[in-house]
Structures are given as structure tokens and as C-alpha cells.
Amino acid sequence: MLVTTLRFTGEGADGKLILTELSSRRIGHSARLMVHCRDETNDRFRQSYRVERDQEPPRTVTLVCMEYQLSTKGGRTCR
């Protein structure tokens, strides 16, 4: 899960973007063993953010995000 408030600034004083997380929900999960020796995990989330940018009115956006993990062998022998 991401930090609830993300702040970005551009080169000039005008370039400012603030993302505030409103909600986050896991919409998918998969886990499997790859080549008999590595674990692969894939989680998908639907996240809603409030976007504040410079002098524009705030708006709400929905993103589908993915977290991917691939482990090392962890002492397993691959075939």
C-alpha cells in the first residue's frame, strides 16, 4: 500500500501536485511456484485518489495498481 499523501514539486514554484489516498481495495491475488524454485506473487488494487494540482479544482481519480514480487531460490534446488 502506498503512503496516504504524496507531494510532488516541479522545477518552478508553480509545479505542485498532491495525491491523497481516499480508498484502497484489493481486487486480485495470485501466487505460484515458478520453475520449481521461485515464488511469484501478484496483487492488484483499486485505489482512489484526490488530485490537487496548481490552481485547478481538486478531482478524484481511480487507479488500478499492481504489486509484483519474485523471490530468490531460498535454498531450493531447481530442476
Q: For 10-60, write each residue's pLDDT tens digit.
A: 876 667 889 999 999 999 999 998 877 888 999 999 999 999 988 889 999
CB of 9 within 8 A of CB of 16?
yes
Q: Is 37 exposed, middle or buried (0-12, 13-18, 19+ CB in 10 A)?
A: middle
Domain boundaries, the chain: 5-70
| Concatenated DSSP letters of 42-72 | EEEEEEEEEEEETTSPPEEEEEEEEEEEE--
Question: Is residue 1 scored above 60 in pLDDT?
Answer: no
The pTM for the full model equals 0.68
